[in-house]
A and B are shown apart, each in its own frame.
Chain A
Amino acid sequence: MDRKWGVVVLRLEKRPTPSRFWLYATPPVAVILTMIAGGILFAAMGKNPFEVIRTIFWDPLFGEFAFYLRGQLLVKAGPLILIAIGLALGFRAGIWNIGAEGQYIMGAIIGASVGLAVFPTESRWIFPAMVVAGAFGGWAWAMIPAILKTRFNTNEILVSLMLVYVAETILAKASTGFLKNPEGMGFPGSRNFSSYPAAQNAFIYEPLGLHWGGVAALVTAVLAYILLTRHQAGFQIRLAGQAPRAARFHGVSPARLVVLCMGLSGALAGLAGMFEVTGPAGQISIDFNTGYGFTAIIVAFLGRLNPLGIVLAGFLMALTYVGGEMASTNLGLPDAAIQVFQGMLLFFLLAVDVLTNYRFRLAVGAH
């Protein structure tokens, strides 16, 4: 029997330990691959790919209107970072809170309700009370899947996601019903917070786009980093994700971890919603939410589930939003193209990530 020489094939081989180089190199590689694939997509749509990529990634930073657009970056990055850090804590422990969008909406509704309930009282305590209420709203909404998981072993992915649709219905009810502006001449939407200074999340430093939400995001990133690297709870989160059995022997209670991670991520999403609705969005309206809760999932992975990485990823994703709006007004690029672009980014990231844990080896196939 004559043996034929086999073809040379690429084989995957598991690395003994994850590669530190690829851990940090995958996000930039994924971004570059996304730019190439996105460029092909834009070209297929009849746009000049180089012009689109430049409009998205360069113009907001250094272009003609950069003085204004740079400020917009932090406005968009703030909520993304805030939500993504919460999600990353859970993802690390293998707890999948996918319903951040719902927690974001509920935080906004509860936070805004507290402010609107005392309208038009002027007091310095109103805004802090709204911050607490916003965090509570998101926390309470996240506690539903958390408690159902710990008590009844219900899948948190599905429950938290179902609750997004429920939250959207409540939002519709709020903006056409119980929070509707009584002086709004019948239009849906609550009172606008820009005309209620005590409850408004105004810019602290407008050229940078810095409002309290941005401050909260950056402070949270530092605190989360300390929690993960220096604190017992952070150690337990990492351990539960990497070695669930070892974590149980170590005395980590899975139920407590679920409540902690879901609660934290819910509260942070609620905070983000509250800061958004009292600041950039201005009022509770049927569609004030723009899907930050879902985009934050991409941000969390792009930032390698690391709080400091998430800050960078948040700014990058904000760049695609701000630049995408520019490309939409100047070049007529549909908004959906940006959504596709963001989706591709996550795909490429997940694909390139194989290099962190595996390496490719050339091998001669046996047949």
Chain B
Amino acid sequence: MDFLGGINPVILIATLMASAVPILMAALGETVVERAGVLNLGVEGMMVIGALGGFIVAVETGSPVLGFIGGAAAGAALSLIFALLTQVFLANQVATGLALTLFGLGVSSLGGQGYNGIKPPATGQLLPDALADLPVVGPIVFGHDWMVYFSIAMTAVLWWVLKSTRIGLIIRAVGESHEAAHALGYKVNRIRLMCIAFGGAMAGMGGAYVSLVRVPQWVDGITAGAGWIALAIVVFASWRPWRVLIGAYLFGGITVLQLNLQVAGSGIPVEYLSMAPYLITILVLVIMSAGRRGKANGAPAALGQNFHASR
């Protein structure tokens, strides 16, 4: 392990769990959206709006918890534009998603003026030091802030909801065959609208984690492509929550590792290290998609198709 230099594996695992939270949250939200048959490419826009909304609320109220709620609200509010356009006006989902990202980036850089260079209130570790100071398990298991545990809990909840509950069954029915779901009497577009808002709230919370914990300050375009990586992770995970968690942690690990290598001065030029997360995302997409076409990769059958009830 000598190429790792002075990198401590315990610290590495502890940091990757925190660094994965934004993409994990956003990817979990998008998983639900896509399981309902909607492809929302506006994750990056919803994350950046959540990052700003969360930052403003946290700074103005002094409460990071309210900040995360504010981030979720901002992300959900932006996602409702997408919901309105695709579910009511039946606009093309790919184009609308892209518009949402462009719009979100613009709105956030407009609204963020005057918030540069401010430090947000800190989000501390959840459990007492006595636990967090234990060797090895301390930093990895007990040393995190509440969002890390919340994101893991959400993974479990979504897995259970999608797999074993009536709501999950309805969401999957709408995503696999909206005609059949409609014939059974479900309001396809209304269910999708709620899923989109949920996805927006999750992406917004993930974005708020970037501006409140990871960076922590406000800069334009703070999410730097995390939303797109979250979209890739959903594909990687074959639309399953636990695999989303694995994907996000793998990705978080790579990000942390390359940052550590930059600091440690590994001799690899900084530029090549900082493109590593994107190249590895592409590589992972290739591995996951190779040789599996159509249904075999687990994509919801009605993904990206709008539904219009003729009667």
Contact = CB atoms under 8 A, between A and B. Distances in A.
Contacts of B231: 158
Interface stretch (B152-160, B173-181, B200-208, B269-277): B269-277
A12 B107 contact: no
Contact of A350 (B41, B95, B282, B286): B95
A245 to B, nearest CB: 13
A340 B110 contact: yes
A163 interface: yes
A153 B99 contact: no
Given A153-B292, A153-B293, A169-B275, A159 B285 contact: yes
Nearest to A151: B290
B271 A154 contact: no
Given A154-B289, A347-B81, A169 B271 contact: yes
Interface in B159-209: none
Contact of A337 (B110, B269, B289): B110
B149 interface: no
A298 B290 CA distance: 32
Contacts, number: 137
A343 B102 contact: yes
Interface string A150-192: 0111110111011101100110110001000000000000000
A194 to B, nearest CB: 27
B289 A155 contact: yes
B41 to A, nearest CB: 7
Contacts of B107: 336, 340, 343
A347 B232 contact: no
The interface residues of chain A, by DSSP majority, are classed as helix
B85 A154 contact: no
B308 to A, nearest CB: 6
A223 B235 CA distance: 37
User: Chain B contact residues: over half helix, strand or loop, or mixed?
Assistant: helix
Interface string A295-328: 0011001000000000000000000000000000
A339 interface: yes
Contacts of B242: none
Contacts of A96: 94
A294 interface: yes
B115 interface: no
A325 to B, nearest CB: 16
A185 B279 CA distance: 33
Interface string B84-125: 110001111011101100111111011001000000000000
Contacts of B218: none
Nearest to A13: B310
B225 interface: yes
Given A166-B275, A334-B110, A354-B91, A347 B281 contact: no
A109 to B, nearest CB: 13
A346 B106 contact: no
Contacts of A155: 232, 235, 285, 289
B285 A154 contact: yes
A158 B235 contact: yes
Interface of B: 41, 81, 84-85, 89-92, 94-96, 98-99, 102-107, 109-110, 113, 220, 224-225, 228-229, 231-232, 235, 269, 271-272, 274-275, 278-279, 281-282, 285-286, 289-293, 297, 308, 310
Given A158-B228, A158-B231, A158-B282, 20 more contacts: A152-B291, A153-B291, A154-B285, A154-B290, A155-B289, A157-B94, A158-B235, A163-B282, A166-B279, A169-B271, A334-B113, A336-B107, A339-B110, A342-B102, A342-B106, A343-B104, A343-B106, A347-B96, A350-B95, A350-B96
6 contacts: A162-B232, A162-B282, A163-B282, A337-B110, A346-B99, A354-B89
